[in-house]
Amino acid sequence: MDAYSDSGSDGTEDSQSDCDLHMGYSSSDFEVEHSEGIRPYRFEPELGSDDDEESGNPPSAIEDRLGSTEWCKCENCREMPTVPESICCTEIAQIQHIKNEFPHLNCITQHPGFPSVCLDVYVLRTAYQAFRQYHNGNIPDGPARNRYTAYRQFVRWCWGFLGRNVRVPLPACAVNLIRQTFPPGDGEELRGFNYGD
């Protein structure tokens, strides 16, 4: 008999008794009282007021990232203006994967690939042309274009392909080194991370 067949040996539909015979139990073994109705999540723990404290993440832990760098473990991060931007390379699994190629590194910016992937002007010029081809952008040559391309290169290096309009916050250490290498021009205002539309 075919393993996926729904018919008995005589060609009639007999899947229930077939299941009962082969599994050693009948469907009546699983009948549930429905007097209370369906109660989804009834076995999930309830959220209590002290759950955040027990997990090691007190409610103010996220807000404490602003105005300090105590969250930084690589010792290269700087204060950032928003909470999503206040993240260290040691907190991001995709970056840890790259960083672990050289276990002695404290920071992704110390990786031998970082300068060539994210800071080399000639690599960035070439990469920008590829991005421009697919995204129809046109940013004038200069520090803004280099920063834009360096951020994209960093994402491609660590995350691979994310998909259209998918954005991830980059670690403060990488962002700051890119900004130091390609500082804003006169009157140019730096834009921080946003999740997009």
Of 159, 158, 156, 157, nearest to 134 by C-alpha is 156
Q: Is the pLDDT of residue 27 over 50?
A: no
Helical (H) or strand (E) element with 177: helix 172-181
Q: Could you tell me if residue 139 is inside a domain?
A: yes
pLDDT tens-digit readout, 37-71: 665 555 555 544 444 444 444 444 555 778 778 88
Domain count, the chain: 1
> Does some domain include residue 26?
no
Asked whether residue 1 is assigned to any structural domain, the reply reads no
Structural domain for 93, as ranges: 75-181
Domain membership flag for residue 85: yes
In a domain, 108, yes or no: yes
176 in a structural domain = yes
What's the chain's length in residues? 197
Read out DSSP for 67-90?
Answer: T--TT-SSS-----SSTTT---GG
Considering the chain, what percentage of its residues have pLDDT values greater than 70? 61
Asked if residue 122 has pLDDT above 50, the reply is yes
Residue 88 lies in a domain: yes
pTM: 0.64
pLDDT of residue 174: 94
DSSP state of 7: B
